Amino acid sequence: MRPSPAWRQRVLRRLHDGGGSEQGARAQERRAGMFRKEKSILLKDSSLALYNNLSVLPLPTKQLTYFASVHGSTVNMVSASADGLSFSHRQLQAKEGSLGVSSSIITQASWCVLPSRVLLVLTSEKGIQMYESDGSIMVYWHSLDGMEALPGQAMFARGIAATGQRFVCVGTSSGAVLVFNIPSKGANITLSEVLEEHRAAITDIGAELCEQPPEGIADLVTADDSGVLCVWRSGEEFKWIAKIPATGCTCSSVKLWNGVVAAGYGDGQIRLYEATSGTLRAEIAAHARWICALDLAPLSGKLLSGAEDSFVQVWGLGRNLDTGDIEVEHCHTECVADTQICGACFCNPEGSAFAVTGYELSEILRYTQV
C-alpha cells in the first residue's frame, strides 16, 4: 500500500530542522511496499484488546519462532518452523499461586531474554507468573496481595522487560515497578527492589540489554497511564536518570534503542527522546487513533507501530553522524482492514519480518521483507 499525498505531508515533523524535505518524502515513498504478506497463523482463541498483546521469541538454532497472545485467562502459544509450513499450538491456562487452584484475567504475556536463560512472564489481576520458555513449568509466582491499589482502581500487574544481566522488571497498577533477580537456573527468584517514581498505573516497560551500562547511560524506561516516562540505569541498585513529563494522554508502549526512547501515545503520536536527558528530539504523526504496540529491531533500528486505526507502520531510526540528531524515515505501511491492532512485533533482530494481531482476530498475520 502506497502512502497517500496527505500522508506524505504529515508523516514526520522534525523538531531540530522544522520538517522533512520533499526529497525525503519521495525517498520514503520509494521504500514503501518493502514487506509482503505470508501465510498467517491460526489461533485457538482470538486476541483481546490489550496493549502490546503479542510477544515473539525467535529461536534460530532450533529453526523455530514462538508467538504468544492473550485471551482472557489463557495464553495462545504457537511455534512455527522457519519455512512457515509447520505449526504447533498450545494454550497455557495460567494458574495463580503455588497450588495452582484458580485463574484470573491475564493482562500481558512476554518472553524475557537474559544472557543465561529465557523466561515466559505473565501478568494478571492477582500476580506475576514466570515459566520456562516453552510454558511447560512454572518456576515462580508473585502475589499482589498486600500491595495498595490506587483509589478506585483494582490491583493488577502490566509491563514486562528483561534488563541487565539478570533482572526482570514488572509494572503494577499502583505505579510501582518490581525488580526480580533471576538466577541462571532454578526457581530461586527473588524480589530485589521496588522502583516508585510513578503515580499512575504502569502501561509498558522498555529495555536495552547490555552487560554493564556506563555511568549515566540508561538501559530501562518505564511508562504509565498519565503519559509520564521514567528512565533508569540498571545494576545492583537501579538509578533514576530522567523523568519525561506527560503530554496529555496515555503512553501505551515504549521502547529503548541506542540511547533513544521511542514512545507511542493515545493521540497517535510517536515521540522520540534522548534517554539520558529526556529531551524531545522528534515527533511523528504516525496514526489517526490510539497506538497500542511498538517494537524495535536492535540490529537495524527499525521501529514498528500498530494502532486502532488498522494501520501498521515501519520506520527507520538513525543518528546523523555530524550533528547527532535523531533521523526518521518512513519505510512501509500495511493496512489490516477492519481490525483494531493490539499487538505488533518484529520476528528477528534485523527487523526483516514482523507479525501483527488484533482485537477479536483469531490469527497472527505475518509479513516478510521482499
**DSSP letter assigned to residue 85:** -
What is the Cα–Cα distance from 28 to 331, expressed in whole angstroms? 6
Per-residue pLDDT tens for 131-182? 999 999 999 999 998 777 667 678 999 999 999 889 999 999 999 999 999 9
Distance of CA 227 to the CA centre of its chain: 16
**The pLDDT value given to residue 178:** 98
Contacts of 136 (CB under 8 A, 6+ apart): none
pTM given for the model: 0.88
Stretch 231-253: mean pLDDT, rounded? 95
Find, among 342, 264, 357, 267, the residue nearest to 308 by Cα: 342
**The pLDDT value given to residue 83:** 76
Give the confidence band of 14 by pLDDT, cuts at 50, 70, 90.
Answer: very low
**The pLDDT value given to residue 210:** 67
The secondary element (H helix, E strand) that includes residue 159 is strand 157-163
Find, among 349, 310, 304, 308, the residue nearest to 1 by Cα: 310
Which region among 29-33, 129-133, 345-349 has the lowest average model confidence (pLDDT)?
A: 29-33
**The pLDDT value given to residue 217:** 82
Average model confidence (pLDDT) across the chain: 87
**The pLDDT value given to residue 85:** 76
What is the Cα–Cα distance from 107 to 126, expressed in whole angstroms? 10
Give the confidence band of 100 by pLDDT, cuts at 50, 70, 90.
Answer: low
**The pLDDT value given to residue 7:** 36
Per-residue pLDDT tens for 277-318? 999 999 999 999 999 999 999 999 999 999 999 999 999 999
Taken in order of first residue, the domains within the chain and their CATH numbers are 5-369 (2.130.10.10)
Convert 84-123 to b/e letters by CB count within 10 Å (16 or more is b): eeeeeeeebebbbeeeeeebebbbbbbbbebeebbbbbbb
**DSSP letter assigned to residue 47:** B
Q: Does pLDDT of 215 surpass 70?
A: no
Per-residue pLDDT tens for 63-83? 999 999 999 999 999 999 887
Please provide the DSSP assignment of 259-308 as one string.
Answer: TEEEEEETTSEEEEEETTT--EEEEEE--SS-EEEEEEETTTTEEEEEET
Give the confidence band of 15 by pLDDT, cuts at 50, 70, 90.
Answer: very low
Stretch 242-261: mean pLDDT, rounded? 96
**The pLDDT value given to residue 86:** 87
Find, among 246, 274, 275, 251, the residue nearest to 263 by Cα: 251
**The pLDDT value given to residue 322:** 84
CA distances from 368 to 38, 85, 293, 302 (A): 7, 15, 19, 14
Per-residue pLDDT tens for 219-235? 999 999 999 999 999 98
CB atoms closer than 10 angstroms to residue 289:
15
Q: Does pLDDT of 9 surpass 50?
A: no
Stretch 181-205: mean pLDDT, rounded? 96
**The pLDDT value given to residue 27:** 41
Per-residue pLDDT tens for 44-66? 999 999 999 999 999 999 999 99
Find, among 36, 27, 2, the residue nearest to 369 by Cα: 36
Residue with cell 527468584: 189
